[in-house]
Amino acid sequence: MQFHKYQGTGNDFVMIDDRARGFDETDQPLIARLCDRRFGIGADGLILLRNKPDFDFEMVYFNADGRPSSMCGNGGRCTVAFAKYLGLIGDQTRFLAIDGPHDARVEPDGTVRLKMIDVNAPIEAEVGEEDVFLHTGSPHHIHFLDPAESPSLAEFDVYGTGHDIRYDQAYDPAGTNVNFVEIPADPAHAWPVRTYERGVENETLSCGTGVTAVALAASQRGAVSPVRLQTMGGELQVSFDQQADGSFTNVWLSGPATRVFGGEL
C-alpha cells in the first residue's frame, strides 16, 4: 500500500489514496501504529481520500489514536494539496468531510485556502473564568493569556493544563481541544497560539480548526479579519464575516500544505 506524508504548519498526516476502498478503516490499532512516531510513519492523524458522488473527493479523518474524528482544518488543506498532487483537481475544488461540504482553492504560491463551516457566536466556557468555547467543525476551548500574566505562553504548561481541561467533566463524554492564546499588544499583529489536541492527547505544532476558533474569539478582543495566527509550526490566516447576532460566515482558513515524502507499506 502506497502512502504519502503531508504537513501544514507542522500538523502532519499520513495520506492514503483509498479510491479503491482497500483500507480497513475499522482497524484502529493499525491506524494508531501507522501514526506512531517510533513504530510507524509518525503523524498527528491519518486521512483517507475516497471517491464521493457529486464531489471531487471525500476526506475521511482519523486521530492518531486510531479513532474517527471531527473536522481537521489543516488536514483538509493537506487533502486538497494531495488531491492536486494526484491530478484529481485543478486549483479549485469542492469536497466532503465529516462536517459537510467544503470549498477550497490552491493559490499560485502553494497556499491552500479552505472554507470552513459557519460558526455560532462564542459562548462562555464552563471551565475557566474568562474562557470561551466555539465549535468550528471540532470543539474548541479557548483561554486568553494577558501579556502581563506569568507564565508567558512560551513557558505555559500546555500539556498539563490542556489535559485537565480536555478531560473536565464539563466536556464529557467526547472531550474538547484546548487552545492557549497570548494577546498581542497590537491586535493587527499575529496572535500566538498553542493547542492541546484530543485524540493526539498532546500538544501539536498547529491546529487548523483551533486557530479558526481563536481568530473568531479574538474578534471580541479587537482582532479584525483577516486575523494572523502564529502557531509553533508557522503562521496561518483566518478571514470571516461577522453577523449582527455574533455568528460568523464566509470563514476561510489559509496557509501552506506540503508533501514531505511518500513510501510503501
The predicted pLDDT at position 117 comes to: 98
C-alpha grid cell for residue 227?
486575523
Cα–Cα distance measured from residue 77 to residue 111, given in angstroms and rounded to the nearest whole number: 9
For helices 208-218 and 73-85, what crossing angle results, to 10°?
A: 130
For the residues 63-79, what does the mean pLDDT come to? 97
- Specify the fold of 123-254: Diaminopimelate Epimerase; Chain A, domain 1 (3.10.310)
Q: In this predicted structure, which of 50-59, 67-76, 139-148 has the lowest mean pLDDT? A: 139-148
Cα–Cα distance measured from residue 221 to residue 177, given in angstroms and rounded to the nearest whole number: 21
Domain ranges of the chain: 2-116+256-264, 123-254
The predicted pLDDT at position 118 comes to: 98
Per DSSP, the three-state class of 127 is: coil
Is there a binding annotation on residue 130?
A: no
- Specify the fold of 2-116+256-264: Diaminopimelate Epimerase; Chain A, domain 1 (3.10.310)
What pLDDT, in 10s, does the model give residues 209-233?
999 999 999 999 999 999 999 999 9
Is there a binding annotation on residue 51?
A: no
The predicted pLDDT at position 226 comes to: 98
Quote the percentage of the chain above a pLDDT of 90. 95
Cα–Cα distance measured from residue 102 to residue 104, given in angstroms and rounded to the nearest whole number: 7
Eight-state DSSP code of residue 44:
S
Tell whether the model's pLDDT for residue 149 goes beyond 80: no
Is there a binding annotation on residue 262?
A: no
- Does 123-254 match 2-116+256-264 at the fold level? yes
Pick the catalytic residue: 72, 165, 214, 227?
A: 72
Is there a binding annotation on residue 197?
A: yes
The predicted pLDDT at position 147 comes to: 75
The predicted pLDDT at position 41 comes to: 97
For the residues 193-222, what does the mean pLDDT come to? 97
DSSP-assigned beta bridge partners for residue 95: 102
C-alpha distance from residue 62 to each of 13, 140, 149, 174, 247 (Å): 10, 18, 36, 15, 28
Is there a binding annotation on residue 100?
A: no
Pick the catalytic residue: 207, 216, 236, 251?
A: 207
Is there a binding annotation on residue 67?
A: no
Query: What does pLDDT average to over the chain?
Result: 96
Residue 35 designated active-site: no
User: Would you call the peptide bond into 68 cis, given omega within 30 degrees of 0 as the criterion?
Assistant: no
The predicted pLDDT at position 190 comes to: 97
Tell whether the model's pLDDT for residue 38 goes beyond 80: yes
Cα–Cα distance measured from residue 244 to residue 225, given in angstroms and rounded to the nearest whole number: 15
Residue 207 designated active-site: yes
